[in-house]
Every structure is written in structure tokens, then in C-alpha cells.
Amino acid sequence: MSEERNDSLRQQIADFFNISSGCRFSIAALILLLTIVPVSRFALPLLMENGLLIDSFSQAIIGSFAWYVTSAMLILQIRIALAHGPERFTWWNEISGEPSDREQRELIDLMKASSRRGAGWPGWLWLLWVLLPMPALTMVADLNLRVNTALITAEELYGGFIVGGLMATVVLLLLSFLRKYILPGVVPLKGIFPFECLHHLHDDSLNDPNEVADLPKGIAVFLARIGMVRGPGYSIQDPKGVERPLAGHLELALLLCLLLAMTFVLGIFEHVVFPGSNLAKVIPTLGHFALVVAILSTFASGMAFWLDRFRVSTLMAASAFALVLFLSRDYEFRVETSPWKSPTLVEAMESKTIPASRSREPGQRDQRTLIVVTAPGGGIHAAAWSAEVLTRLDERWPETFRQSLGMISSVSGGSVGSMYYMDAISVPEGKVSMDEVRERAKLSCLEPIFFAATFHDLLPLTQYDRGTAAEHFWDFTLRMHERKSPKLSDWGVQARSGKMPVMVFNATDVKSGRRVLLASTAIRDDSHETHSHGSITNDHTCAFDLRQNDLDMNVATAVRLSASFPYVTPISRPVRGEDGEEIMPSVRLGDGAYADNDGIMTALESVSQLIDHFSKRPPSERPFDRILLINIDNYGTSVGHPEFKESGGQIEALSYATIGPLLGLSNVRGASQAERGRLEVGLLQDRTLTEQEVMWVIRQLKRKGEMGGSRDEDQPEFVNNSQISMRAQRNAWHRMSRFSESPVNMPDGDEDSESATEVVSTHRDSFNHQRSNGPGLYPIQFKVVSIPFRGKSDPPLSWKLSSDQMRTYSEAWQQLDHEAREWTVSNDQDWDELGNVPPLKEIEQWLGSPGEKATHWTLAGRRDSSQTR
């Protein structure tokens, strides 16, 4: 007797683990719902916390609704698996024994077990459903009431959560009625769905299997007949031999369809019809996440319920299904042939009319300054800070900045902010204000990306993939004010006429790891050799220049490719032409930050190219006198040294022992790019400074030869109104003063003379060949200024901002402005010798005081009638 009792206990334990294993994906999804919010807030706040932001009352409703409906679906999945598991799974006589198929219970046995459960959910399950989302929603509310109060109030937030919970209750009530009238052929087992007690009173008479056989058949019986819901645990035969589905499976699919239909209709209105309108923002990121959990858990638990009987791995089957799904499609972007030949960077610069600025530096005459801006990556933070800096500089120097701006090299998030600024200056004055540019750059694009992930990647119901959805969102904002979608060639035409700067969106060819330039003009110029650090070369480090090959695309497409944040938007390839031929090489374009997060390489190559070209011309024959590179520093890395935090103890040791190499690769990539950028900037500065020193020495020697005086008798001539900076002149004089006083012994004698003549003759041809390609006779000054972001908190790495974070950008600019106003220097001090000069003061050194009108005096001291303000 005791042995039989032990066998029964082992049987029950084996049955419990065998059946409950069918609920593993539902239980895992429940755990995910309970932990995702605290993980986002406390473990990965910079990356995930902003996904919990709620911006309106409607978003609070939909977020709470999606969370409660998803919780109900997970509970239903577990109830279905426990109710029908004994009929589906293989049972074990002993834990370590041989498996044997359990005999299927009769319909009368199922109905008796159903009666014991009772109609509807028990009270404790109702309480669990109500309380389950509350911890997550409470933490979401706490976050929003701390950092997002400008967009939503406590009344709107908690009121929306309550309304969302009531809406979920109504949907569950609707499900209980729909299953009776849409699926009448299902065996009406009890205790699985809520609200069964409201309309199942007459089902108490259905305790006789013969009465179940008299129920209508409908679509449920048809689905069982064709095998979609047929087999142990899915269906059972009634006394008339009709295969009828068991309660649970079809109803759960119906609930998922209701949820998908509601969110799909709202998503189409929000992300396709009006993707850039704040009025259409209904589904928050929180709601999209709950929907993804509902879809994945339903499919995973359904596959597990079906495959576990055959001992087939659900994960392997799901992986194979995902592989087939992704192999059947690809991520592409549109590119087309340009209707006209693209202008070059040099042509765009030659057409500019740059006003001469009154310099604040003592001893410097008014000069024309060409401005080049780099806008690095960094998600929506980079977009917001880039737009803040560009628009504030435009407002601070209204007579100078826009006319002097020659080029913007942007990457990732910086491309978004630069796009909105360029769009504003490409239209008639006042149509798009600088305030609107700053607001646009702060718009979230997480919601359309999540919508595309749900209804394209998971469910192929729309053509908008994650990249296309972000592109469509940005393109919609550009098409506001009744305008068409701008193309790179449109901006190139305006750059060729000198009305706009050249815009370069940097992307990365993931195949080669090199940059791809998506610009408004051709940046590379392989037709001319350039002089670089003593060597003559026409090689370029980028993989492909779109406009050099006379190709074109929408501006929003170029920004989407430059800002393809890893795993958020996909790596894409160009579409083929109508005849199937490749329009563009078979590249795979990803985020520009893979190759260069600062955009500095493209900027420095372009600056070097411009110096090589225009330093051969006298100042009166070129459009600018000096070049100012403004680096928008999103994280303040251009100042100070890295801070070394205290050790994190054993948790830190564990993390670095497991994912340390990945963290090292990621951190080294960013740090090495910054170090390389600073080194290359320094090399270009040294090059331009050295060229200025050499030309100053040559001019002093020429002057001395003309005067016929000795070096001891004549003092050097320091010229204030030349293209050679005072710093270069002083450096050159110091070198000359340290030069040896001993005379240079020239070779004498016929033999030595003949040898010298032969050497000169041998190198004359080579010298003459390289003469026109070497450094120009009119050196160009070059200066770099970094504008750092010094916010009160660490910037986020996502594509959404809270209201408090939105304010930090104007506050950071006000801090920079305050530093510039408080900083003073005496008139006789040389700015080059000073340290810790505020960045706005450094720009003021070359552009003049803020708001000061530009002058028309050129470097040569003559009025240039071709220049306008």
C-alpha cells in the first residue's frame, strides 16, 4: 500500500513538472513584466529609462490598458496549459521511468473537472490580475512626476492609468460574450476566462455530453476539422463524433486579435498618416513593449504546447521560423540617379560671399572666416544639442554666422539636429523659426520604431520597417508648411549658388568598416592632387562618395542611414534599378559612429583640401582668409581628464569577468576615435602654423635682401594685417633667433662646383613638377573651438527626452553665454597666449562681438564690392 502511495506521489510530482513546463514562456513573460521597469530605472537608466516616459493623458490610458491586457493574456495562457496539459503531454509513471501516453479523458470527465473549477476566475486570481501591473505603473508614475511634469500632471497620469484598467476590464468582458456568439462550437469548459458567470448560467445544464453535441458548429468546428485546432489538448469528440475545440485556444487568439486590431489602427493613424504630429502620439513606448510581450509570449507558449508532446525544442523551432522570416526579406533604402551633375566642395566654397568680421584680437585686421562645423553622434541628446548650438550661433551672430558657414559634417544623432537647421535656412526667411528647429530636434522617434518592430519585424502587416518608419517620421516633419521632400541635390543647388553650406551626413559601410559620404555636393575630388604633410596624394579614406558618382536620395533617407542606431534601426542595402542593375555599389550602410563618431575625419579632409586649393591664391582672389572649425562636443570630452570612479566590488568584478571584453571593445572604440580626432586636429593645426612660419621667414629674408642689411642690425617686421597670425610670426622669430651664427660653408673649386651643378640639374625637373602642388604662397589660418555640453545630469542614450532634459539644453547654452560675458581680458593681451578661454569668446575672437554688423573690408585692406552682408 505504501509503495502504491509513493508511486502516486512520484506520479503527481512528475505530472506537475511536466505540465507546468508548458507554461515556462508565460511565466518568463510575467517575470519580464515585473522586472523590466525596475531594470530600466535602476540598472540601465541612460539607455532604457526614457522609454518609460508618458507625455499625455491618452498615452497613460493606452499604456495602462496594454499592460493590463497583456497580464490577463499571460494568466489565460497559464490557465489553458494547466487545464488541457494532461491531454496533451506525455505522462511519466516515475520521474526516471519510461514515458507512456496517458489515455485521453472522456468529455464527461472534462466537464466534471470544469464544474469543480466554477465559472469565471476565482477571487484571488482577480486580485492578482489587478495588483500585477501596479508596481510597474507606480514606478512609471514616480519617474514621470519627477522629470516629466511639464508634459503631464499627476491627475492626468493616475487618471489615465485607472481609465486604462477599466478599458481592459471591458475588453475582457467583451471577450467573454464574443466567445459565446462567434465561437459557439467550442466545448464550454469553465474556470478559464473571466466574467463567465455573467452569461454561463444556462451552461449549468450542459453537464450532459449529449447536450454539448447539440451546440452549433460554426467556424470553431470548421477549424478543428481542417486540423488547425485538432488533437490531444486541442479538441475532443462529442457523442455524435464531431471534433470540437476545447475552450481556451481560439478565445486567446481572439483576444490577441482584438488587441492587435486596436493598436494597429491607432499605429497607422499615428505613424503613417500623421507621423510627425504631436496630436497623434497615442501609443507610448510602454504600450508597444507590452504588445510585443503579448505577441511573443502567445506564439512561444502556443509552440511549446504543440511541440513539447514530440520532444522538439521550442527555441530551435522559433529560431528556424525567425531565420526563414528574415531570409524572405531585406532592409533597403532608395537611391536614384541625379538629374544633373553634382557640384564639388571647392565650387561651393568659391561661390560663397563671406563678410569680413571685425576681430577682437589685438593687432588683427578684419578678415573673412570660413566656418566648418562637426556634429557628433549620441542619439536624441546629440540631435538636441547640435540643433541648440547651431541655432544659438545663428542668433548670436545674425550678420555673420550663416553667411560664413561653409560645411557641416554630422554623424548619427548630430545628423538629425543638423538636418532640421539646414531645412530652416533652406526656406524663405521666417518660415521655419530657430525655436521650431530646437523643438523638432527633441521629438521622439521611439514610438514609430516600436510600431515597425511589431507590425513589420514580428507581424508582416506593413511595409514600414524600423529604418523606414524613422525615415518617414523625419520626412513628414520636413514636408510641413506644404513643402515637398527635400533631396540632397536640392541642397546641393543652393550650396553651388552660395546660399547654403555643404551638408555631409556620414554613414558607415559595415562590410569594409569605412565611411560613406552622403552629402549635398561631391566631397572627394580625385581629379586634382593635394599636398598633405609633405606628400602628394589623391587618395581618400572614405569608401564611397554618393554625390561624386552623381547619385541622389531624400535628405530623410540620408539621415536615417547616418543615424542607424545599433539594433534600433537596421543595417540596409541600396535598392536595385528597374532593370535589376545596381545603381550603387553593394554596400551595407550602418550608423556613421561605427567609423567616426565625431565626423572629424570628413571635416579635416575637406579643410585640408580647401587649404591646398586656396592657399595658392592671393587673398583678393579667394572667398575666405581663414578657417574656423567648430566641434560640437556632446559629452564634454574635449575638456579635462577622465574621472576614475571607486571600485564596484564583487559585482563589478563579475561583470568585467563575463562581459569585460565587450565593454572594453566598446569603450576603446569611442575613446580611440576621440584621441585620433584630437591628434589629427593637432596635426592640421601644426601644418597650417608651420606653413605660416615658413612664409614669414621667406618674407623676412626677402625684405632683408632688398634692404641689404645684416640680421644683427635689422629687427624683424611683425605685420598685424597679414594672413599670418601673430603666433606664427613669433614662433618663426624665436626659431631664427636660436639659429646658429656660424656662416654656411659653400663648396668651392671646379670639382665641387660641377658636382653641385649636377645635383641641382638632377632635381630641377622633380622640383618644378611638385612646385605647383606644394604648400601655397598665401597660408590660411586654421583654428579649432569645441562647444561642450555641461548638463546637470548624464545625457540619455535613447531617442526620447523628458521635459526636464529638454530644458537642460537651453540651460547649458545660457551657462556658456554667462561664462563668455563674465570673462575679461586687457586690450594688449594676446589671446593665443591665454588659457581657458570660454568657447564663445574664442569664436568671438574671429567673428567679432555678438550682434555686431559685418564689415566689407578684405584682408588686403580694400573694399570688395562683391561682398554683401
Q: How confident is the model at residue 414 (pLDDT cuts 50, 70, 90)?
A: very high
In a domain, 341, yes or no: yes
pLDDT averaged over every residue in the chain: 79
| CA nearest to 58, candidates 270, 260, 255, 256 | 270
Handedness of CA 345, 351, 355, 361 (dihedral sign): positive
Domain boundary pick from 174, 197, 220: 197
Higher pLDDT, 720 or 532: 720
Is the model's pLDDT at 537 over the cut of 50? no
Distance (Å, whole) CA 817 – CA 824: 13
| CA nearest to 589, candidates 512, 507, 712, 696 | 507
Is the model's pLDDT at 443 over the cut of 50? yes
Q: What is the mean pLDDT of residues 265-273?
A: 75
Q: How confident is the model at residue 752 (pLDDT cuts 50, 70, 90)?
A: very low
Is the model's pLDDT at 244 over the cut of 50? yes
Q: Are 157 and 141 in contact (CB under 8 A)?
A: yes
Q: Are 27 and 78 in contact (CB under 8 A)?
A: yes
Q: What's the confidence (pLDDT) of residue 764?
A: 45
Q: What's the confidence (pLDDT) of residue 656?
A: 65
Residue 35 corresponds to which cell in the numbers above? Answer: 522586472
Distance (Å, whole) CA 28 – CA 51: 21
In a domain, 750, yes or no: no
In a domain, 347, yes or no: yes
**Share of residues in the chain with pLDDT > 90 (%):** 34
Higher pLDDT, 869 or 321: 321
* CATH assignment at residue 404: 3.40.1090
Higher pLDDT, 19 or 867: 19
Q: What is the mean pLDDT of residues 197-224?
A: 70
Distance (Å, whole) CA 198 – CA 205: 15
Q: Are 721 and 683 in contact (CB under 8 A)?
A: no
* Count of positions (residues) in the chain: 869
DSSP reduced 3-state for 390 = helix
Tens digit of pLDDT for each residue in 114-163?
A: 777 777 788 899 999 999 999 999 999 999 999 999 999 999 999 999 99
In a domain, 279, yes or no: no
DSSP state of 400: T
Domain boundary pick from 197, 230, 257: 197
Q: What's the confidence (pLDDT) of residue 538?
A: 44
- Could you tell me the pTM of the whole model? 0.84
Higher pLDDT, 293 or 612: 293
- Other CB atoms within a 10 A radius of the CB of residue 318 amount to 17
Is the model's pLDDT at 382 over the cut of 90? yes
Least confident of 166-180, 394-408, 617-631, 676-690: 676-690
Higher pLDDT, 763 or 393: 393
Q: How confident is the model at residue 419 (pLDDT cuts 50, 70, 90)?
A: very high
In a domain, 699, yes or no: no
- Other CB atoms within a 10 A radius of the CB of residue 793 amount to 11
Higher pLDDT, 699 or 754: 699
| CA nearest to 628, candidates 710, 696, 685 | 685
Tens digit of pLDDT for each residue in 816-866?
A: 999 999 887 765 555 666 667 899 998 988 888 886 665 544 333 334 433
Tens digit of pLDDT for each residue in 322-365?
A: 888 878 788 999 999 988 889 999 999 999 999 987 665 555 56
Q: In the chain, how many H helices and how many E strands?
A: 29, 19
Domain boundary pick from 197, 219, 252: 197
Q: What is the mean pLDDT of residues 677-685?
A: 71
Q: What's the confidence (pLDDT) of residue 327?
A: 80
In a domain, 488, yes or no: yes
Higher pLDDT, 753 or 795: 795
DSSP state of 586: -
Q: How confident is the model at residue 788 (pLDDT cuts 50, 70, 90)?
A: very high
Q: Which amino acid is at 525?
A: D
In a domain, 480, yes or no: yes
Q: What's the confidence (pLDDT) of residue 295?
A: 93
Q: How confident is the model at residue 669 (pLDDT cuts 50, 70, 90)?
A: low
Residues spanned by the domain of 24: 20-99+128-197
Q: What's the confidence (pLDDT) of residue 96?
A: 40
Tens digit of pLDDT for each residue in 289-311?
A: 999 999 999 999 999 888 887 87
Distance (Å, whole) CA 354 – CA 846: 13
Q: Are 761 and 606 in contact (CB under 8 A)?
A: no
| CA nearest to 248, candidates 233, 266, 231 | 233
CA distances to 10, 22, 91, 93, 303 from 311, rounded to whole Å, are 21, 12, 12, 17, 12
Number of domains in the chain: 2
Q: How confident is the model at residue 32 (pLDDT cuts 50, 70, 90)?
A: very high
| CA nearest to 62, candidates 250, 270, 232, 241 | 270
| Burial class (CB within 10 angstroms; exposed 0-12, middle 13-18, buried 19+) of 441 | buried
Q: What's the confidence (pLDDT) of residue 643?
A: 58
Least confident of 173-177, 250-254, 725-729: 725-729
Which residue is associated with the grid cell 522617434?
A: 445
Q: What's the confidence (pLDDT) of residue 29?
A: 94
Tens digit of pLDDT for each residue in 473-520?
A: 999 888 877 778 899 999 999 999 999 999 999 999 999 989 999 999
| CA nearest to 856, candidates 372, 399, 407 | 399
Q: Which amino acid is at 215?
A: L
Q: What's the confidence (pLDDT) of residue 401?
A: 94
CA distances to 32, 234, 411, 446, 452 from 21, rounded to whole Å, are 17, 17, 48, 35, 32
Q: What's the confidence (pLDDT) of residue 747?
A: 41
Q: What's the confidence (pLDDT) of residue 362?
A: 52
